[in-house]
Structure 1
Amino acid sequence: MPSKTLDQWRQARHAELAGPDSWLGLVGLFWLEDAISKVGSGDNCVVRLPSGPAHLGDLLCRDGEVFWQPAGGEARPLATDRDGQPSTVDHENLSFFIVDRDGRFAARVRDRAWAMRQPFAGIEHFPEDPAWVVDAEWLPLAPPVSMEVPNVTGELKPVTVAFKAVFAVDGQKVELLPMAVGEREVFFVFRDRTSGRETYGAGRFLKAKPAVDGRIRLDFNRAFNPPCAFTPFATCPLPPPENWLPFAVPAGERKWQGAH
């Protein structure tokens, strides 16, 4: 399948952020600390919904799994986001699903009608610049490097890195360490001298196709804001110090001008 053009990529990105399942529709993130967590709009609920019945049901944590038991109904297991698409529980315009962060569970609540109140106006981009399509060397690390990567909540996630991307900008040689390497894509998190000024302060994400013959193409025109740029109810990895680039990367998405 041919790659999307940059315009097509931007259009798909806009559609994703403007849609009912956008990060912009999140209205809550609630950690499940007990075996039984009440869900509803009542003051005694662990998972507080902005509307609906005072007690919609309960989330049950048993032996590393989460079950949903609607008020007066039977319990059913919920798939978390650990292995892919999570199960959702819907009530009118609201829905929630379970995220798994190294064995800690949380319910993430979404208002799927959010755009009716404030439609997404889009994100500004730097002008496309072919100079920021970089063909980097993809070099093995021997031995692999183990790192603890913090997210915006301050939690640390262990990451093992077996390769690095190496390239030069204006004669300055730099390296980027991937946060994940899969069969279909390689995922990076980086900061640069635009971070906090023209782009999101915590850094940006970049995805690349897997390396071929020891080289990997990094198209910084497709650098994009992490979910945490749009909502306080996301948990995003932060770039390790090795991925703090010592120069500006005026390519890709700029800072989102909305507020949360």
Structure 2
Amino acid sequence: MDSTTTPEDHWQRFRAARDSSLADDHGWLSLTSFQWLPAETAALDLVPGLWSADSHAATITARAADSLTDLTSALPVDGAIDAVLDDEESLSWVAYGGEDRHRVVVELARRSGRYAVRTRDSGAPTLAAFTGVPTFPYRRDLVVEGRVEEFPEPRDERIRTAHPEVSGVHRSVGEVTFRLPGAPQEWRLRAAREESGGLGLTFHDGTNGSTTAEWRKVTTSRPGPDGVVLIDFNRAVNYPSAFTPFGTCPAPVAGNVVTAPVEAGEKRPQGEHSDAG
């Protein structure tokens, strides 16, 4: 950081990148449906063709007149195509609509051992109305130091998700302890390893259900040799399920609760679909 760049400047750049990502044509704000695939071949709402799935694969059967494009081959779908995913995987499978036949992308997902599709429409009202995520003002005092106590081996813990029919697993690699300014107690949260090398903390706090969604996530810095991490709560973000009812986002591990209000980071989205996170 040079002498003219402040931590708040870096946060503003983070916010601009975050809002830009959410405004992507087929990002989380473009979701318009979530549908489980049936065992017997059948039509679905919003999407052309006939759809089905068994425990192994998902299948689309369509005619050229349905104007579906297979995104894995860039060819029109004329007949039957299959796809196989592992649990928790997703695939941008086919597209349709618009002059370029790509206005709507159909995402195939496998959750809790079942196949589902979600439609991502670049013309979705949620996306068209988006002007940015509301946030608390930047607070330097809510950039705090923590310490990670790693487990000898990762622990897989069952969790609920934003979708009542989808269960989840949190792979906890340790616990992060920290204090907040003005609060005497220490908090201890289970953490997951992020691709960045930092630790992901999914948590409830005292603002949930009023100024914020039901839960949020913050990613720490990469732990130092002594286990010290930096937690910048100004970078606490909503999961996609705070913006759309079609998310299957993981809830916090039981006990990942900060009873004090963490008045930093993203607030409840404007026009939020429900009180669920």
Offset, 1:258: 1.4
Aligned residues: 243
* Partner of residue 32 from structure 1, selected from 8, 30, 37: 37
Distance 1:59 1:245 in 2: 44
Matched, 1:156 2:153: no
Distance 1:183 1:235 in 2: 20
| Counterparts in 2 of 1:149 and 1:117: CA distance versus 1, 3 Å | closer
Letter in structure 1 aligned against 2:32: V
| Counterparts in 2 of 1:79 and 1:135: CA distance versus 1, 3 Å | farther
1:130-168 CA-to-partner distances (Å, cap 9, x unmatched) read 211122111123575442111122343233423111112
| Counterparts in 2 of 1:75 and 1:212: CA distance versus 1, 3 Å | farther
Offset, 1:243: 0.9
* Partner of residue 64 from structure 1, selected from 56, 75, 81: 56
1:207-230 CA-to-partner distances (Å, cap 9, x unmatched) read 234322112221110101111111
Distance 1:59 1:208 in 2: 42
Greater mean alpha carbon deviation, residues 116-125 or residues 186-195: 116-125
Q: CA RMSD in A?
A: 2.6
User: Partner of 1:131 in structure 2?
Assistant: 141
Letter in structure 1 aligned against 2:167: L
Q: State TM-score, norm by structure 2.
A: 0.78
SS at 1:189 equivalent: strand
Distance 1:189 1:183 in 2: 15
Contact 1:19-1:115 at 8 Å conserved across structures: no
Letter in structure 2 aligned against 1:212: G
- In structure 1, stretches of 5+ residues that fail to align are 39-44
Letter in structure 1 aligned against 2:170: V
* Partner of residue 81 from structure 2, selected from 70, 73, 76: 76
Distance 1:251 1:146 in 2: 29
Distance 2:134 2:184 in 1: 29
Distance 1:174 1:97 in 2: 38
* Partner of residue 189 from structure 1, selected from 195, 202, 207: 202
SS at 1:163 equivalent: strand
Contact 1:78-1:87 at 8 Å conserved across structures: no
Offset, 1:83: 7.1
Letter in structure 1 aligned against 2:57: E
Contact 1:58-1:71 at 8 Å conserved across structures: no
Offset, 1:84: 6.1
Distance 1:48 1:192 in 2: 37
Distance 1:248 1:211 in 2: 25
Contact 1:79-1:87 at 8 Å conserved across structures: no
Offset, 1:75: 2.8
User: Partner of 2:45 in structure 1?
Assistant: 48
Contact 1:182-1:210 at 8 Å conserved across structures: no
Letter in structure 1 aligned against 2:106: F
Letter in structure 1 aligned against 2:11: L
1:77-128 CA-to-partner distances (Å, cap 9, x unmatched) read 4465857662331111222111111321110012112269833122221111
Contact 1:80-1:97 at 8 Å conserved across structures: no
Matched, 1:20 2:60: no
